C-alpha cells in the first residue's frame, strides 16, 4: 500500500520539491490541524483572522477553503482531507504527480504541500459548475476544448503497460472479494437493504469486467492523459474570463480517450439524484465532440478540419466506453459503501450505475459505422 507520507522527496516537472508537513488533520475537528498547516504555508496570516469555508459537494473527501478577507482573493488555500480508507484504492503518490503535470502545462492549480491524510493546493478563482450549464453550448464547448487540450499533453516517459480502467477495476474487484464479509461503514448501515439484495455478486461482476475488457480492447481509442472523473463539481467556471479548469486528480492518469468523454457524458445524469433522462442528446454529443476534435487536433499539431466521419467514429467509441464508466463507478460505489464515513447512499448509487450499464450494454456494443447515419 502506498503512503502519502512518502512524498517528502517528490520533485515536480518544474524541479521544485514538494513540502510535506508531518501532521494528521482530524476529520471531525479539523481547525487545529489546518492552522498548523497554514503556519507553514501562510506564516504572515494571523490565526484569529483566518476564515474557513467547508465545501460540501464532494462524496469522497472533505474540502475546506482557508482565507483572510475574501475567498476569491489571491492566496486562498484549499485543504483536502482524504476520505476514510481511500488509500486502499487511490494512489496518493500518483495523484500528486498528476497535480504537478496538470499545473506544469497550465491546466490545473499548484499543489502546496502534502500532510499525513491530505493535501493543500491553490484555489482557482471561479465557481463550481452547476449541473444545468452542462447543456449550454457556450459552456460545454469550453469543457470539450479544455479536455482536448489535456488529452494532447504528451508523457515524458513511456505510457503505463495498461490503461487505468483495467488496473483499477481489477483492484476494486480484489478489494471487494477480500472484504466480502465486512460490515458496511457506520454511515451506510441504515441504507437501503433492497439495493444490497439486488446487487450482482462478485463472480458476476468479475466475469462481466473480463468480457467488457475483451470487447473494448478491440476498439481503436487512443491512450491519452485523462481526468477520468469529470463530474460538474470538478469543473471550475470563471464567467469573467470565460474559461473552465478541471480540478481533483485522484483518478487522473493515462487512459482511453473515449472513456474520459463517455464518463463526462454519464455525469450529465447527476450524482445525488441520478437521472439518465438528462444524458446528452445525440445532437448535443455530436456538437460537443466536434468542439473536442477541433481542440485535440489543434493541440496535437494536426489538420484541424473535422469531418462527419470523424465525429461518428468518436461517437461510437464514446458510447462503448460510457459502459466502462458506469461499470467502474458502480464497483467504486460498492467499495465506498463499506469504507466511507460520508453521508451518502453509495449502495443505491452503485445499483443505478450498474443497472444503466446492463440496460445499454448490447445497444452500445453493437454500434458500428455502417449502422449509423446522421443528418445535420
> Closest by alpha carbon to 202, among 169, 238, 159?
169
73 pLDDT above the threshold of 50: yes
pTM of the model: 0.90
With a CB cutoff of 8 Å and minimum separation 6, the contacts of 214 are none
129 pLDDT above the threshold of 60: yes
Number of helices followed by number of strands (H, E) in the chain: 10, 11
197 sits in which H/E element: helix 193-198
Instruction: Specify the pLDDT at position 55.
Output: 86
Q: Encode pLDDT of 195-250 as tens digits.
A: 556 799 999 999 999 999 999 999 999 999 999 999 999 999 999 999 999 999 99
- Say which range, 110-119, 163-172, 263-272, 334-343, has the weakest mean pLDDT: 334-343
Q: Encode pLDDT of 1-43 as tens digits.
A: 222 223 333 444 444 689 999 999 999 999 999 999 999 999 9
374 pLDDT above the threshold of 70: no
Query: Measured between alpha carbons, how far is residue 69 from residues 50, 82, 245 in Å?
Result: 8, 26, 24
- Residue 14 has which C-alpha cell? 518544474
- For 20, phi then psi, to 5°, come to -120, 125
- What strands, in cross-sheet order, belong to the sheet with 235-238? 127-128, 235-238, 243-246
Q: Which DSSP symbol is given to 126?
A: S
Structural domains in the chain plus CATH codes: 30-122 (3.30.200.20), 127-177+197-374 (3.90.1200.10)
- Residue 23 has which C-alpha cell? 501532521
- Residue 244 has which C-alpha cell? 473552465
Residue 225 and residue 104: Cα distance in Å, rounded? Answer: 14
Q: Encode pLDDT of 266-293 as tens digits.
A: 999 999 889 999 999 999 999 999 999 9
Task: Please state, as a whole number, how many other Cβ atoms lie within 10 Å of the Cβ of residue 232.
Answer: 20
Residue 369 and residue 316: Cα distance in Å, rounded? Answer: 8
Amino acid at each position: 500500500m502506498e503512503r502519502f507520507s512518502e512524498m517528502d522527496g517528490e520533485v515536480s516537472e518544474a524541479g521544485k520539491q514538494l513540502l510535506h508537513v508531518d501532521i494528521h488533520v482530524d476529520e471531525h475537528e479539523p481547525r487545529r490541524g489546518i492552522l498548523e498547516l497554514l503556519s507553514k504555508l501562510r506564516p504572515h496570516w494571523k490565526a484569529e483572522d483566518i476564515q474557513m469555508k467547508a465545501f460540501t459537494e464532494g462524496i469522497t473527501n472533505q474540502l475546506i477553503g482557508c482565507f483572510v478577507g475574501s475567498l476569491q482573493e489571491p492566496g486562498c488555500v484549499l485543504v483536502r482531507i482524504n476520505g476514510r480508507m481511500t488509500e486502499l484504492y487511490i494512489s496518493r503518490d500518483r495523484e500528486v504527480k498528476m497535480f504537478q503535470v496538470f499545473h506544469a502545462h497550465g491546466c490545473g492549480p499548484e499543489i502546496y504541500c502534502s500532510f499525513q491524510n491530505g493535501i493543500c493546493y491553490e484555489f482557482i478563482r471561479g465557481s463550481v459548475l452547476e449541473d444545468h450549464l452542462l447543456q449550454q453550448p457556450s459552456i460545454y464547448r469550453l469543457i470539450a476544448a479544455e479536455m482536448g487540450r489535456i488529452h494532447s499533453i504528451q508523457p515524458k516517459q513511456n505510457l503505463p503497460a495498461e490503461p487505468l480502467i483495467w488496473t483499477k477495476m481489477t483492484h476494486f474487484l480484489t478489494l471487494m472479494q477480500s472484504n466480502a464479509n465486512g460490515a458496511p461503514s457506520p454511515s451506510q448501515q441504515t441504507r437501503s437493504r433492497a439495493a444490497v439484495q439486488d446487487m450482482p455478486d462478485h463472480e458476476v461482476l468479475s466475469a462481466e469486467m473480463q468480457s467488457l475488457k475483451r470487447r473494448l480492447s478491440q476498439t481503436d481509442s487512443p491512450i491519452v492523459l485523462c481526468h477520468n472523473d469529470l463530474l460538474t463539481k470538478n469543473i471550475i467556471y470563471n464567467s469573467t474570463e470565460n474559461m473552465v479548469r478541471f480540478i481533483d486528480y485522484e483518478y487522473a492518469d493515462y487512459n482511453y480517450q473515449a472513456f474520459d468523454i463517455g464518463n463526462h457524458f454519464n455525469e450529465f445524469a447527476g450524482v445525488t439524484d441520478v437521472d439518465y433522462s438528462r444524458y446528452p442528446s445525440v445532437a448535443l454529443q455530436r456538437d460537443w465532440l466536434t468542439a473536442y476534435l477541433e481542440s485535440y487536433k489543434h493541440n496535437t499539431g494536426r489538420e484541424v478540419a473535422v469531418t462527419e466521419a470523424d465525429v461518428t467514429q468518436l461517437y461510437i467509441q464514446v458510447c462503448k466506453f460510457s459502459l466502462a464508466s458506469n461499470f467502474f463507478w458502480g464497483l467504486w460505489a460498492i467499495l465506498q459503501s463499506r469504507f466511507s464515513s460520508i453521508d451518502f447512499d453509495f449502495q443505491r448509487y452503485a445499483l443505478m450505475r450498474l443497472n444503466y450499464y446492463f440496460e445499454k450494454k448490447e445497444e452500445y456494443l453493437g454500434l458500428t459505422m455502417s449502422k449509423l447515419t446522421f443528418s445535420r
